[in-house]
Chains A and B, each alone.
Chain A
Amino acid sequence: MGSAISVQPLRVLIIDDDQALLRMLRLSMLSEGLEVATASDGFTGLEALARDNFDAIVLDLQMPNMDGRTFYRQMLAQGRRTPVLILSAYGAEAARRELRADAALPKPFDPDVLVETIRRIAEPAASS
């Protein structure tokens, strides 16, 4: 199983429009040895996805310009199957079921739980 000292660190894309939350997510993931890229809405998220490969995506639902649901559907439409963890203050689990996403965490959350969840959904993909 994975740990903070994988040879190839997990690459995570975080999509959230709240800058303070983005910084906190980034800090907690970096401190756990993950590689992190950030995007502040669905559009920039799709752009980032087109440029780089990621092992997992942390996705907020309510965002201006392009919300999380739209991003998710567009990503699937583009044929990408990157594992997605949904982060939301309201109805995270319901949205996971609706979108058939890999995991969901309600806000607020313990950053360690977040990192564990990311590893759980990302590693099958990363090791395959």
Chain B
Amino acid sequence: MKIGGTPAQTNRQQENGSPPFAAKAAVTSAAEPVRTGDLPYRRLLEALGVAVYATDAAGRIVFFNDAAAELWGRRPELGKDEWCGSYRILHPDGTHMPHDQCPMAICLKENRAVRGMEAIAERPDGSHFWFMPFPTPIRDDAGRLVGAINVLIDVTDRKRAEVDAFRFAGIVESSDDAIVSKDVNGIIGSWNPAAERIFGYTADEVIGRSVRLIIPPDRQNEEDEVLRRIKIGERVDHFETLRRRKDGTDVPISLTVSPVKDETGCIIGASKIARDITVQKRAEEALHKSIAVKDEFLSLVSHELKTPIATILGNALVLLRRGDTLPAADKEQALRDVADEADKLQRIIENLLLLTRLDAGQELDTEPVRVPALVAQAIAGFQHRNVKRPISMLEEGGVPIALGQPAMLLLVIENMISNADKYSPSGAPIECVVRENSEGEIDVSVRDYGIGLDTAEAEELFTPFYRSPKARAKAKGMGLGLAVCKRLVEAQGGRIWACARPEGGCDFTFTLRRAEEDWE
């Protein structure tokens, strides 16, 4: 729109450098007849919803419309206020901008239209608005500068949105949670750095592809359900599931999916926030496991300690109260049971104490030991208590002197024999084999013909309180014996392991270091 003064005005305007067109009309009272032909322009400008004002060549405001006054929060004094009607002006960085350096001032001083600037204006009430000015010089027919007109576009909302978007982008970028956007068909539109970390795909690799890429095959129906709910505007909250990483491993996540709407309220896709809950899951599992272990431990300890005590106490009371009326054989058996059960208790307590005392990695003082003699001693002790179980020892070749602690070794062998006995059917033999292995160490194997074991549990057998499902079904026990054996053997510098034989039964073997030649 080109706005110019009429020839009649031009002379005056040129004399005082003031209003190019409507100034007279604006400052004059209604009573004064409007002589100019620019009334329609002035009305037009006043009726515009955008802020418009004009100055004379010296920068004095000669016209403004209501939209400008509203934006400024004030009504400038015509012919007096200069450059701009706003109360204060700030640069976009928040520093003060003197009025005589504002875009309108530049426009007038440099006689050129100023474009592409942004500034912030402060209203008298302290509130601010962002605006883009479009100051344009007004020249007369001779091309002389007679003033300028400025349009102020309020860009506050856009600026806020930009700042929000900037902040939001920062949040998305720095989030520990994967934040992914997808359209209503599940096609990925954005993929933040956390998504790259959690799922192993870069943004370039996945944008434009279906989110099904990270869903394991057996969970694909979850995406159907998620998309169904998103399409009807529902949100999926904290849904715990698994997703597949690029390397093929699965990661447990907590998923929240919300519909994304356009400005018209139409659902155009979904935002998806996935939290890696691996650590949380592990902690939960560990907690459940430890509670289960504690319960089982209490139950086992109670059972294993109290049953022998029940036998001892019961027998003692019966013998005390009615001993003289009982047959001699019954009395003898009752006394034998008292002794055996006391012995059993002592063993359990010894094992418990050893397990607590011997921290993993602790070394025992060792001395040269003749292992076959210790095995024979353990067998003799066992045979004395268990007359019916066939048990034998085989010494293969000359067995060298080993390094160990005799009392602890005896306990290991006794525990291994007792374990073999527990899981063997009655009458099945137990064989102890002592030999020198190819490394020159001393191997002791206790071979049974019992229930065998699964290869997978061969390691776990030596964990304190571990009892294999097979073992649970077969016999009672605390899962202490083998754990103690492992600690004791390792504390003497040896190794212990279990293996099942294909034909049935197991070999439990431990190895001890050989003593120096001098001892042989």
Residues of chain A touching chain B, judged by Cβ–Cβ distance below 8 Å, are: 17-18, 20-21, 23-25, 27-28, 31, 62-65, 88-91, 106-112
Q: Are A24 and B307 in contact (CB under 8 A)?
A: no
**B310 lies within 8 A of chain A by Cβ:** yes
Q: Are B341 and A20 in contact (CB under 8 A)?
A: yes
| Bound CA–CA A111/B340 (angstroms) | 19
Q: What's the count of A-B pairs with C-beta under 8 Å?
A: 84
Q: Are B303 and A62 in contact (CB under 8 A)?
A: yes
**B306 lies within 8 A of chain A by Cβ:** yes
Residues of A within 8 A of B476 (CB): 17-18, 62-64
Residues of B within 8 A of A109 (CB): 310, 313-314
Q: Are B314 and A24 in contact (CB under 8 A)?
A: yes
Interface size on B, residues (CB 8 A): 32
| Bound CA–CA A93/B311 (angstroms) | 20
Residues of A within 8 A of B473 (CB): 64-65
A91 CB, nearest partner CB in chain B, Å: 7
Q: Are A107 and B307 in contact (CB under 8 A)?
A: yes
Q: A31 and B334 in contact (CB under 8 A), knowing A21-B307, A90-B298?
A: no
Closest 6 CB pairs of A and B: A89-B306, A108-B310, A90-B302, A107-B310, A89-B302, A24-B314
Residues of A within 8 A of B326 (CB): 27, 31
**B315 lies within 8 A of chain A by Cβ:** yes
Q: Are B334 and A23 in contact (CB under 8 A)?
A: yes
Residues of A within 8 A of B315 (CB): 24, 27
Q: Are B311 and A24 in contact (CB under 8 A)?
A: yes
Residues 470-494 (chain B) with a chain A CB within 8 angstroms: 472-476
**B318 lies within 8 A of chain A by Cβ:** yes
Residues of chain B touching chain A, judged by Cβ–Cβ distance below 8 Å, are: 298-299, 302-303, 305-315, 317-318, 321-322, 325-326, 330, 333-334, 337, 340-341, 472-476
Partner of B314, one of A28, A88, A90, A91: A28
| Bound CA–CA A17/B333 (angstroms) | 18
Apart from A24-B311, A28-B314: 11 A-B pairs, beta carbons within 8 A: A21-B307, A27-B330, A62-B476, A64-B473, A89-B307, A89-B310, A90-B299, A107-B307, A108-B314, A109-B313, A110-B313
A42 CB, nearest partner CB in chain B, Å: 12
Residues of B within 8 A of A107 (CB): 306-307, 309-310
Q: Are A111 and B317 in contact (CB under 8 A)?
A: yes
| Bound CA–CA A88/B300 (angstroms) | 11
Q: A20 and B311 in contact (CB under 8 A), knowing A31-B326, A62-B476, A89-B302?
A: yes
In this complex, what residue of B is CB-closest to A25? B314
| Bound CA–CA A30/B29 (angstroms) | 129
| Bound CA–CA A3/B472 (angstroms) | 40
Residues of A within 8 A of B305 (CB): 89
| Bound CA–CA A27/B473 (angstroms) | 28
Residues of A within 8 A of B302 (CB): 89-90
Residues of B within 8 A of A17 (CB): 475-476
Q: A20 and B475 in contact (CB under 8 A), knowing A27-B330, A90-B298, A112-B317?
A: no
A23 CB, nearest partner CB in chain B, Å: 6
| Bound CA–CA A108/B345 (angstroms) | 14
Residues of B within 8 A of A24 (CB): 310-311, 314-315, 318, 334, 337
Q: Are A27 and B306 in contact (CB under 8 A)?
A: no
Residues of B within 8 A of A21 (CB): 307, 310-311, 314
| Bound CA–CA A23/B340 (angstroms) | 13
| Bound CA–CA A27/B315 (angstroms) | 8
Partner of A112, one of B311, B321, B330, B340: B321
